[in-house]
Structure 1
Amino acid sequence: MSIEPMMRAIIASAPGGPDVLTIEEHPTPAPGPTEILIEVAAAGVNRPDCIQRAGHYPPPPGVTPILGLECAGEVVAVGREASRYKVGDMVMALVPGGAYAEYVAVDETNALPIPGGLSLVEAAAVPETFFTVWSNVFDRARLRPGEWFLVHGGSSGIGTTAIQLAKAFGTNVVTTAGSDAKCKACTNLGADRAINYNTHDFVSVLKESNPDGMDVILDMVGGDYVERNWNVAAEEGRIVQIATLNGPSEANFAKLMRKRLTHTGSTLRPRDVAFKATIAEQLETCVWPLLEEGRVRPVMDKTFPFEEAAKAHRRMEGSGHIGKIVLTL
């Protein structure tokens, strides 16, 4: 198989809006000893991509400035110590950067086979959200069957994934979303209740409907949501912070202390290959059968050609999407 020495890739020419995204020629990466080289067929678009483009989320040290955290495609080369995949295999992968390109190299332990029934475009929508939800909700927060789970932003890629996985493992799910249509999409995915945060105060609603509180809360909003989450959390509840889109918080820690809450958080991108490999193993064991059976699927919003990445970013930042946005090559 012929691999071109140069490839097209998308970077932000300067910090700014979607129009700063440009396609440039970059050297095609060579796979390291334990890496595989993927010819990218599709790449997922995620909120961190937009934040990086705006200049507020630089890649970790040593990571390419090429955008993109997840992709799916064909293995076209393997490192000398890589043994799981062979040239011609179809895989999806979580990468610390570089997915908005014709080729990307990734450690083979951070790639996974594509479950039967998923297209390459759907597969590209899986890694970032499934790795994030699994590591935070099921590993860090230890969500258990029968518990009550609140996820904010239920119609986002993270939210649609969290709803489906939580229901698949026997928990009760409440979510918030920004419109009645988005709330309907959440209940169609299995959420027991969806609250339109533009017309209802989720704290008041949950105080009335679930007075015992939420056992686990997944939040990417931050700001005043921190204390509001503490208000609706159950005693000994666990809150996981994965972003702070509304900025910092000035929460009253007395509420956390009184309820004996655990409020933790994490970022996935800077974690090392070994950590992500462990998540990949858990996903393949516990979640891939659900994807194979069709019990869980990535929710697809819209696809854009590679050349229209700016439109994809506008779609993401407009917050009108339900589910995942994907670039196709």
Structure 2
Amino acid sequence: MRAIVIRTFGDPDGMQPVEVPEPTAASGELVIDTEAIGVGGVDAVIRRGTIGGAGFTEGLIPGSEVAGVVSAVGDGVDAGWLGRRVWGFTGTSGGYTERALARVENVVALPEGLSPTEAVAIGSAAPVAHFALAHGRLVSGERVLIRGAAGSIGIAAVELAARAGASAVAVTTSSAERGERLRELGATHVLDRDGAESEAISPSPSDGFDVILDIVAGPATGRFIERLASNGRMVIVGAIAGFPPADFGAALLRGFQRSRSVATFSLDTVPRPELARVRAAQFEAVVRGDLHAVVHDILPLEAAADAHRRMDAGEVFGRIVLAPAPTSEAPSSLGK
């Protein structure tokens, strides 16, 4: 079967299509014939070689979320899953392929009316946004800043923060056009990538933000810590721009008397049943139109390197989806 592997870590050109053996479901696993594969920021971080250690070696098949039809089950898995349309988490790798393996506890059935493309556009991103905002203890009436809001996590966070009653939902993004798209989804204020305001924020910017959701990290992390209000909380959920500098915590000490805090968040800390419950509810919300799965483009599996080049260039609004077989689905109108 066809798959994409990382021959060399670094540039997208190090990714190549190859033929690999068909997967066999072990105990507790399912085989999913993939119809849609999500291309996420963590895939790019892994491909660049930012994350090292056991398992991250040349020949790795990237990708962590897929949607399609269950074609085989391993020992201990209910045969009732066979033939069902599902979303599945494959782990930190294994998704860019025609048939993927997933543990049964990491699989959620798709509701009627939800396409595989929509499923992989929000299947990981929207739960991250939900639980990260909860980790930041967001309550109605507080001011939120979402740093790096044009990606799938940021878009979901904008909608969820607005629905939670945030008094301001500020976003950082790279262009006025993207800012207008984010306004359609619930953003109230648009800032540039450095956090400069294009308009006044009420209360004044000097009061800061109660919650900052940071998907970017990198060298500017400390500057955004300084945008926190007294008792403000920053939650770092990604590192698209790389890890923060070693001295980023100095910003906390400089504002010691303001009792600010910084935390990280990963879905790995959420109990599987609770995660599955929230993900299923979010899938239903997309069907109702209460949550939007924004798809920038749908590309063939072999175009994975091109998808990563477009991510690296900052061209993507929402999520790029890979399709192993031709599809009649069109990208979301918000993603165009």
Secondary structure at the residue paired with 1:122?
helix
Q: Give the conservation status (yes or no) of the 8 Å contact 2:190–2:197.
A: no
Partner amino acid for 2:235?
Answer: V
Question: Does 2:303 align with 1:308?
Answer: yes
The count of residues paired between Structure 1 and Structure 2 equals 317
Q: Alpha-carbon deviation of 1:121? A: 1.4
Matches within 5 A, 1:199-214: 201-202=196-197, 206=201, 209-214=204-209
Q: Alpha-carbon deviation of 1:81? A: 1.8
Matches within 5 A, 1:91-240: 91-96=86-91, 97-138=93-134, 140-171=135-166, 172-197=168-193, 201-202=196-197, 206=201, 209-240=204-235
Q: Alpha-carbon deviation of 1:208? A: 6.5
* C-alpha distance after superposition, 1:239-293 (max 9, x if no partner): 111233154333323245322122111344xx38x744432223334x3442231
Alpha-carbon distance between aligned partners in 1 of 2:25 and 2:127, rounded to the nearest angstrom: 23
Cα RMSD for the two superposed structures: 2.6
Taking structure 1 as reference, are residues 248 and 36 closer, same or farther at Cα in structure 2, changes over 3 Å only? same
Partner amino acid for 1:328?
Answer: A
Taking structure 1 as reference, are residues 234 and 316 closer, same or farther at Cα in structure 2, changes over 3 Å only? same
Alpha-carbon distance between aligned partners in 2 of 1:185 and 1:158, rounded to the nearest angstrom: 15
* C-alpha distance after superposition, 1:32-70 (max 9, x if no partner): 322221111110111222222222224764998211011
Secondary structure at the residue paired with 2:124?
helix
Equivalent of 2:21 in 23, 27, 37: 27
Partner amino acid for 2:225?
Answer: W
Taking structure 1 as reference, are residues 299 and 85 closer, same or farther at Cα in structure 2, changes over 3 Å only? farther
Alpha-carbon distance between aligned partners in 2 of 1:119 and 1:289, rounded to the nearest angstrom: 12
Matches within 5 A, 1:37-56: 37-56=31-50
Secondary structure at the residue paired with 1:125?
helix
Taking structure 1 as reference, are residues 120 and 284 closer, same or farther at Cα in structure 2, changes over 3 Å only? closer
Specify the alignment match of 2:66 in structure 1. Answer: 71
Q: Give the conservation status (yes or no) of the 8 Å contact 1:78–1:85.
A: no
Q: Alpha-carbon deviation of 1:205? A: 5.4
Q: Alpha-carbon deviation of 1:156? A: 1.3
Q: Give the conservation status (yes or no) of the 8 Å contact 2:4–2:96.
A: yes
TM-score of the pair, normalised by structure 2: 0.85
Specify the alignment match of 2:257 in structure 1. Answer: 258
Secondary structure at the residue paired with 2:145?
strand
Aligned residues: percent identity? 29
Taking structure 1 as reference, are residues 116 and 234 closer, same or farther at Cα in structure 2, changes over 3 Å only? farther
Partner amino acid for 1:283?
Answer: R
Taking structure 1 as reference, are residues 62 and 221 closer, same or farther at Cα in structure 2, changes over 3 Å only? closer
Alpha-carbon distance between aligned partners in 2 of 1:296 and 1:224, rounded to the nearest angstrom: 32
Q: Alpha-carbon deviation of 1:99? A: 0.8
Secondary structure at the residue paired with 2:256?
helix
Give the unaligned 5+ runs of structure 1. 1-6
Q: Give the conservation status (yes or no) of the 8 Å contact 1:206–1:232.
A: no
Specify the alignment match of 1:243 in structure 2. Answer: 238
Moved more, 185-194 or 74-83: 74-83
Q: Alpha-carbon deviation of 1:207? A: 8.5
Taking structure 1 as reference, are residues 21 and 233 closer, same or farther at Cα in structure 2, changes over 3 Å only? same
Specify the alignment match of 2:7 in structure 1. Answer: 13
Taking structure 1 as reference, are residues 115 and 238 closer, same or farther at Cα in structure 2, changes over 3 Å only? farther
Taking structure 1 as reference, are residues 114 and 105 closer, same or farther at Cα in structure 2, changes over 3 Å only? same
Taking structure 1 as reference, are residues 236 and 99 closer, same or farther at Cα in structure 2, changes over 3 Å only? same
Q: Alpha-carbon deviation of 1:195? A: 1.5
Alpha-carbon distance between aligned partners in 1 of 2:79 and 2:205, rounded to the nearest angstrom: 47
Partner amino acid for 2:258?
Answer: K
Partner amino acid for 1:123?
Answer: A
Moved more, 54-63 or 114-123: 54-63
Specify the alignment match of 1:36 in structure 2. Answer: 30
Secondary structure at the residue paired with 2:69?
strand
Partner amino acid for 1:303?
Answer: I
Q: Alpha-carbon deviation of 1:131? A: 2.8
Taking structure 1 as reference, are residues 61 and 53 closer, same or farther at Cα in structure 2, changes over 3 Å only? closer
Q: Alpha-carbon deviation of 1:122? A: 1.6
Secondary structure at the residue paired with 1:143?
coil
